[in-house]
Each structure stands twice: as C-alpha cells, then as structure tokens.
Amino acid sequence: MKILKSRHLTYILIGLGLATLPFLNQMGFIRSSTVSIFGFIVFYAIAALGLNVLLGYSGLVSLGTAGFMGLGAYLSTHLTLEMGLSFWVALPIVILIPTLLGFVVGLVSLRLEGMYLAIATLAISEVIRQIFIEIWGFSNIRPNHPDIFVTFLDRDGTYWLLVIFLVVLMILTDNFIHSPVGRALLTMRVSEAAAQAMGINLFKYKLMAFAIATAYATLAGSLYAHFIRAVDPSPWSLLLSLQILAVIVIGGFRTIVGPIIGSIIVFGVPPLILNDLPIIGNIAGMPFIFNGILIILVILFYPRGLIYLGHDLKKLFKKKEVSSK
C-alpha cells in the first residue's frame, strides 16, 4: 500500500506553493503584506477545515467557531507570556481545555437540532467573548512568535510553521474522513434514524465531531495570536463565525481543499484585489457586499462549491475537443 496517496500529494504541493511566498517577497515580486494576508488565509482555512468536519460531514451547525478561536488565542498567550511556557509545551494544553468544552457542547447537541443548535453554540461563543472582555478588556496583548530550541521564529518562519500545520491537518482530515468513522459521520448526516438502525452510536460520533471542530478552531486561534502578535476580543464575534461558514459554502462542503479556496476568496480577495480597485476600494464594507453576492451566486450556480468549477471546465474543454475532431 502506498504511504502517500495522490490526494496527499496534492495537499503537499499546495503547501509547497504557499511556502514559496516569503521567497517571492524577498526577491521583490510580491509585497510583504501579501505574506501576512496569506498567513490569515492559512489559519482561517484551518478553522474552516474543522467546521467542515462538523457541518459538511456530520450535518451539525455551529456558530461558535470564533469564540473557540479566541479561547485558543487567549490561552496560548496567557501560558506563553504570563506563565513563561514554550509554545510547544502550551499548545497541547491550549487544544485540550477547549476540546473538553467542545465535548460539553456536543452533549447539548444531542437535544438540539438545526437553528436551535446554532443559537446555542452562538450563545456559548458570546459568553466566552464576554469573559475575555471582563478579564483582559480591550488592551492589545502582544505574544511572541513560536520558539524553536529557545530561539523565537521571525514572521516568515512562523508563516512556514502555519503552512506545515495546514498540510498535516489536511492529510489527517483526509484519512479520518475516509475511515469507518468518517463514513459513520456521513451516514449520520444523511439520516440519523438510518444511522441508528445500522448500529451507529450518535452520542459518540457527535461528540467526536464537536471535539475535532473545537480542536481545529483553538489551534487556528493559537496560531493567529503568535503570527500577528496581537490579541484582543474584537475579532471573535458572530461576524467571524459567519465568515468562516461562508468559506465552506464558497469553497465546497465535504472537501479538504475547498476551505483553502473559500478562505482565499473571503479573506484574501478583499485586501489583495478589491481594496486596490478605484472607487470600489474606497467603499466601506465592500468586502462584505462582495462575499454576500458571491455566496448567492455560488448557491445558485455551484451549490457544491467553487472547488468543482475546475472539474466542470475540464469537461467543457473535453467536449469541445471531441466536437472539433
């Protein structure tokens, strides 16, 4: 059996492509801000990848992603700055504590469905955010970059670390989804009654789905804090949770690469393209207008996500080649 499947090779090639950006910046082909923007794209893609496991593969709705990202950011900052722990020592703690909270949310999900579950997760997220405000206020805390052998990484080194995390999580998520557990989640998503009839333990798999989504979100939050070196409660709102949800809708449900495509469009296109356009770039809130219009268009014409656009274009070109012969 091959160690690396063709899908895994695709993920590695995506990672290598993202990793070239700091070199392009050093050679003067792209701006330094472009590397920072792609850093945002990467850790939001990680959070969206976890949400895709929860929503896309198991059919459970959550609007609490931003709250758990904030929890990861604040925990990591507290453990590394105030307690003096290494980033690598703090990281397992940062993931474990919110994941346990994710188990509690999973317990709630056994009694709630649809919009009621979404509202419950939103409430939990807002409670977490208010705790941040009460304890730390809106002061801008500045954590360090991650450390490697007592030496702190610079921005480019931290960016490469983000890319490594993304590639590893893509491979792990792919293996998970194609395992018996992943197939059980898909069955549960289609019909809980059918899943129960097949002997699938809904309690077990819902808890597992929430735990994975929570772990990915807190990891993304921790990476966020140590990449941009700034933490305050402002970003961890309902708006960010909705944007991450938009990432999945635009990129593609039940896909591994879809969250990256969606993250590039939602978090990359506005600062890289829209803000530089004449007139349009000066309109306040234009990114949100763009995302809203794009979501409507995707739902109308590509309900499975833009990841399938390339596949359809290939089919179109093949038809043209056949007709021309």
Q: What is the pLDDT along the chain (325 residues), one digit of tens a residue?
A: 344 457 888 899 999 999 999 999 999 898 898 999 999 999 999 999 999 988 888 878 888 899 999 999 999 998 998 888 999 999 999 999 888 887 777 777 667 777 788 888 888 888 888 888 887 766 677 888 898 877 888 999 999 999 999 999 999 999 988 888 888 888 877 777 777 777 777 778 888 888 899 999 999 999 999 999 888 888 888 889 989 998 998 898 888 999 999 999 889 888 887 777 666 666 777 777 777 787 788 878 877 788 877 777 777 676 666 666 5
- pLDDT tens digits along 208-222: 888 899 999 999 999
As a three-state string, the secondary structure of 197-247 is HCCCCHHHHHHHHHHHHHHHHHHHHHHHHHHHCCECCCCCCHHHHHHHHHH
Which helix (DSSP H) or strand (DSSP E) does residue 148 occupy? strand 147-148
pLDDT digits (tens, 9 = 90+) for 165-205: 999 999 999 998 888 888 888 887 777 777 777 777 777 88
- Of 85, 41, 108, 60, which Cα lies nearest the Cα of 244? 41
215 belongs to a structural domain: yes
- Alpha-helical segments (H) within the chain: 6-19, 21-26, 32-52, 65-77, 87-109, 114-136, 155-177, 180-190, 192-197, 202-228, 238-251, 258-263, 269-272, 286-301, 309-324
Query: What total of structural domains would you count in the chain?
Result: 1
Summary mean pLDDT of the chain = 84
Residue 164 domain-assigned (yes or no):
yes
Q: Is position 244 within any domain?
A: no
Question: Structural domain of residue 110, as residue ranges?
Answer: 6-238
| ∠ Cα 241 12 87 (to 5°) | 60
Asked if residue 260 belongs to a domain, the reply is no
Residue 224 placed within a domain: yes
Inside any domain, residue 273: no
Within a domain: residue 300? no
